[in-house]
């Protein structure tokens, strides 16, 4: 039997998706085959502290894990330790002792900023520790919607028309509004370039809402994206692999609200997942083909979920965005799509770890 690997599961993080990450991580930890892997759990608090945790997995989901952490944990960026430095204070003597634990691979189950955006990936590169998912460049470009759009354009993947607005331009907001109105009809979409979970995303039906939306988006990023409205169904496709990535069957989300906003994602259960999506085969194939093209164009690795709009009347396919560390709970679209394609959740984890260990 092959030697056991030590997998470090990183969860939490400083982004608005901290809670989702904890739920994703619990599913990952529960589904990792304990015959094959030893697991080291490290949580990152909302304030950015890295804490090693050894308690019950369910307390990760509730947030109670923070009180039960055993030590500050730090992944050494000098490349020599290749593991975790565990600093523990002896309660009696106040002495600080350091122990190290070797880890073979990190699974950063982190969504959003400081987790999915290349920053944490940079740390693992420095430390020369293999990790699941895309590298620095693909992670950061995918996180920045404006940059990702430039790559999709170059790869000739259809997408909504867009305009870029910088936060400083809002000092003369009437000029911005004039420019946007000369480009698009209402409704239009406004989003921070770097964000996720629909935080800061609004649909503007008139000038007043456009102004409000711009101001809101500017609270989250200095770069704002304004997009033409696509009257589309929300279609998603999972991609898995390094050099020769494969696309899963295609799924659909039916949002329970006007659009797939933060509340529709996390606060009400009226949104539905439909797997496979009821699409003509030709359209589903186009989605899969564009998903793989986008993945390759961005130089992704390991996994990504690629999100599309399929026009409700014409069936035209538009790419919306790519997520390099998509939601990974047992009911999330990414693993569900693979399940429907014949790869179970535990098998998917095996493949992701194998892909991390042999990055070509
Ligand atoms: N151009 C658009 N046309 C129609 N709906 C849109 C458009 N852009 C975004 N949306 C809606 O807003 C949601 C969130 O936008 P998205 O770009 O996916 O941001 P996030 O990264 O926060 O998920 C989408 O799932 C969709 O419901
Ligand atoms: Mg989205």
Domain boundaries, the chain: 5-131, 142-158+231-357, 162-228
The yes-or-no verdict on residue 223 having pLDDT over 50 is yes
Identify the band that residue 81 occupies on the pLDDT scale cut at 50, 70 and 90. Answer: very low
Closest ligand to C-alpha of residue 196 is 1
At the topology level, CATH places domain 142-158+231-357 in D-amino Acid Aminotransferase; Chain A, domain 1 (3.30.470)
Give the pLDDT of residue 90. Answer: 63
- The phi, psi pair for 292, rounded to 5°, reads -70, -40
Lowest model confidence (mean pLDDT) among 13-22, 63-72, 78-87, 227-236: 78-87
320 CA to centre of ligand 1 in angstroms: 7
Give the pLDDT of residue 268. Answer: 72
> What is the tens place of the pLDDT at every residue in 152-175?
999 999 999 999 999 999 999 999
The yes-or-no verdict on residue 3 having pLDDT over 70 is yes
- Candidates 115, 142, 189: which one to mutate for ligand 1, based on the most atoms within 8 Å of Cβ? 189
Residues 6+ apart with CB under 8 A from 353: 5, 7, 37, 105, 107, 132
The yes-or-no verdict on residue 69 having pLDDT over 80 is no
Identify the band that residue 89 occupies on the pLDDT scale cut at 50, 70 and 90. Answer: low
Q: For the CA atoms of the chain, what is the radius of gyration?
A: 21
CATH code at 162-228: 3.30.1490.20
> What is the tens place of the pLDDT at every residue in 275-292?
999 999 999 999 999 999
Closest ligand to C-alpha of residue 255 is 1
Percentage of residues in the chain having pLDDT higher than 90:
75
Asked if the 5-131 domain carries CATH number 3.30.390.10, the reply is no
Sheet with 223-228, edge to edge strand ranges: 162-166, 223-228, 188-192, 202-204
Distance, in Å, from the CA atom of 341 to the CA atom of 337, rounded to the nearest integer, reads 6
198 CA to centre of ligand 1 in angstroms: 7
Distance, in Å, from the CA atom of 159 to the CA atom of 230, rounded to the nearest integer, reads 9
Identify the band that residue 77 occupies on the pLDDT scale cut at 50, 70 and 90. Answer: low
The yes-or-no verdict on residue 80 having pLDDT over 60 is no
The whole-number average pLDDT for the span 129-141 is 97
Residues 6+ apart with CB under 8 A from 267: none
How many residues appear in the chain? Answer: 360
């Amino acid at each position: 039997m092959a030697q056991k690997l030590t997998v470090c599961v990183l969860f939490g993080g400083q982004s608005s998706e901290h809670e989702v990450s904890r739920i994703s991580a619990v599913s990952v930890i529960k589904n990792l085959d304990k015959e094959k892997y030893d697991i080291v759990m490290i949580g990152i608090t909302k304030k950015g502290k890295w804490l090693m945790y050894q308690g019950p997995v369910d307390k990760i989901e509730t947030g109670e894990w923070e009180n039960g952490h055993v030590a500050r944990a730090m992944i050494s960026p000098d490349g020599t330790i290749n593991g975790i430095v565990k600093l523990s204070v002896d309660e009696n003597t106040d002495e600080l002792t350091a122990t190290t634990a070797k880890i073979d691979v990190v699974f950063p189950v982190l969504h959003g900023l400081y987790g999915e955006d290349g920053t944490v990936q940079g740390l693992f590169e420095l430390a020369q520790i293999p990790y699941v998912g895309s590298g620095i460049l693909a992670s950061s470009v995918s996180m920045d919607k404006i940059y990702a759009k430039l790559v999709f354009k170059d790869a000739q993947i259809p997408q909504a028309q867009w305009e870029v607005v910088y936060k400083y331009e809002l000092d003369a907001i009437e000029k911005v509004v004039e420019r946007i109105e000369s480009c698009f009809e209402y409704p239009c979409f406004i989003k921070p370039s770097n964000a996720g979970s629909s935080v800061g995303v609004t649909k503007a039906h008139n000038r007043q809402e456009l102004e409000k939306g711009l101001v809101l988006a500017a609270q989250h990023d200095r770069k704002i994206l304004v997009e033409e409205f696509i009257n589309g169904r929300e279609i998603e496709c999972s991609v898995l692999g390094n050099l020769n990535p494969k696309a899963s069957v295609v799924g659909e989300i039916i949002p329970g609200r006007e659009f797939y906003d933060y509340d529709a994602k996390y606060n009400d259960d009226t949104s539905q997942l439909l797997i496979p999506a009821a699409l003509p085969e030709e359209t589903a194939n186009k989605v899969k083909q564009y998903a793989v093209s986008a993945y390759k164009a961005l130089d992704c690795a390991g996994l990504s979920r690629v999100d599309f709009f399929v026009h409700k009347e014409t069936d035209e396919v538009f790419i919306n965005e790519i997520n390099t560390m998509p939601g990974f709970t047992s009911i999330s679209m990414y693993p569900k799509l693979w399940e429907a394609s014949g790869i179970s959740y535990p098998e998917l984890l095996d493949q992701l770890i194998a892909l991390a260990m042999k990055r070509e």
